[in-house]
Structure 1
């Protein structure tokens, strides 16, 4: 009679390791779900920043926001509409600089704040005035204004952003902070058939926007914040992309909205950039 083969058994140590791995996977999954929940439905969300966050150009302004021109079409409001956070407030304001954030907006933050978004920096270097000079002046005037603005961006903006981001972290130590940047303004591939500024002006303005975004990204990374780049999302929807533009060109009847995202720019550009980070 042949001997029955021995039944192979899994050593207890191997079983124990398997249970440890399974527990780790389950814990990671639970943590991921909790993180996603804290960034959406359970979030205490505060939107900070300048006109690109308040929603200038998107229309449907909230009368109580006064000259800050907060829009119900701003990306932060759209995010709140789709994620139903535990709380949401926007204190973003048209024309805000880093100093305005420090003086007037930080009070909206607290240790219970779990999500913050911000666009800031353009007004610190007078970018709005630079755009106006380029529209109303000669190419020489435009390039001189851009050179002055980029010199300021290189010299003063890194320090101002670093101080502002540090203050945000101090005021909201438990928050995830999402820093969004600015789009390029012109599709240069269509510049030759696009009326208005010269291609030289447009290229210089795009380069200035890229520099500004690069400084913002570097300082956001240094602060340990999440950086959301919107430039790629605006490609094909810049000025000179006829009938597909997500940016306002110069509007003499309402200069404030010039070079700001439309409602489509917020829903199609800024909101997806925000959601890509927060879920």
Structure 2
């Protein structure tokens, strides 16, 4: 999620890591299947992947597609899904730093401009995956404000929930109609398409975190973890309300968060130990996300 100082989102902790380093952004879960009537296509026709950096997966593998500034990898979950289901056509237009506005408008990156992602969705499209929303909540603007030398701190939570207003919850609520409009537009542009909204994986562990490896206080870890869960709930609710499936990547990725051992984690920490950018899924994480999506794809 993070922007080109990053790539696709997760919560303040993601952007905090990106700010520090100057970088850019399974066990099967309880994913909700999309409507399965004969009026939708599925994995046999044209598959279009939309999303941010959690979809494009910067640096997990060989670079794929243009513009280079979108940081797509050839082993991100859309490419893995495509290799598995073998659609007649496959187009991945995901881009690091994308927001919902990047679906209908161009997105400038540090190395080229990505066309409006929805331009790739045509009347012949039969499958669309969508991984978006985290950047809309505005985590990037809060980048440098959650790191701390106090392991039990909660300065970000206290500031962001002052006066009885939870800013992250309010921004998530404000993003919901944008997701709704996006899904409705996809249905209009591709009336035969199966749509799958892809949620964000588990980034933070249960408990207090792993300070100082992750320099975020325990109170803020809990707040950010809950805020991410709220974002995923919103995405799931919008998928259900707008005739789309929901790929729950958070449930299968529990126990594989950034505080786990390097051979266990599916999301990298501030200093990656495998190919990925900080605080984003590595190749194992993208593979797990792909498997969750594949379980929902309609095939003959």
Would the TM-score normalized by the shorter structure come out above 0.5? yes
Structure that is richer in helix per residue: 1
CA deviations on 1:51-70 (whole Å, 9 max, x unpaired) are: 11112352422263311111
CA deviations on 1:98-134 (whole Å, 9 max, x unpaired) are: 1111221111111100000011110111124445532
Q: 1:278 to 1:62 in 2, by over 3 A?
A: same
Deviation for aligned residue 1:142 = 2.2
Q: Tell me if structure 2 keeps the 8 A contact 1:194–1:240.
A: no
Does residue 159 (structure 1) correspond to residue 162 (structure 2)? The answer is: no
Does residue 260 (structure 1) correspond to residue 280 (structure 2)? The answer is: yes
Q: 1:67 to 1:167 in 2, by over 3 A?
A: same
Q: Tell me if structure 1 keeps the 8 A contact 2:240–2:246.
A: yes
Structure with max Cα Rg: 1
Query: Could you say which residue in structure 2 is the equivalent of 1:206?
Result: 225
Aligned length: 240
How many Å separate the matches in 1 of 2:184 and 2:129? 14
Which residue of 209, 216, 220 maps to 2:235? 216
* Greater displacement, 110-119 / 131-140: 131-140
After TM superposition, which residue ranges in structure 1, 4 or more long, deviate above 6 angstroms?
none
Does residue 123 (structure 1) correspond to residue 135 (structure 2)? The answer is: yes
Taking structure 1 as the reference length, what is the TM-score of the superposition?
Answer: 0.78
Does residue 274 (structure 1) correspond to residue 293 (structure 2)? The answer is: yes
Deviation for aligned residue 1:49 = 1.3
Question: Structure 2: any 5+ residue segments left out of the alignment?
Answer: 1-35, 106-115
Which residue of 152, 167, 170 maps to 2:188? 170
Cα RMSD of the aligned pairs, angstroms, is: 2.6
Question: Structure 1: any 5+ residue segments left out of the alignment?
Answer: 1-31
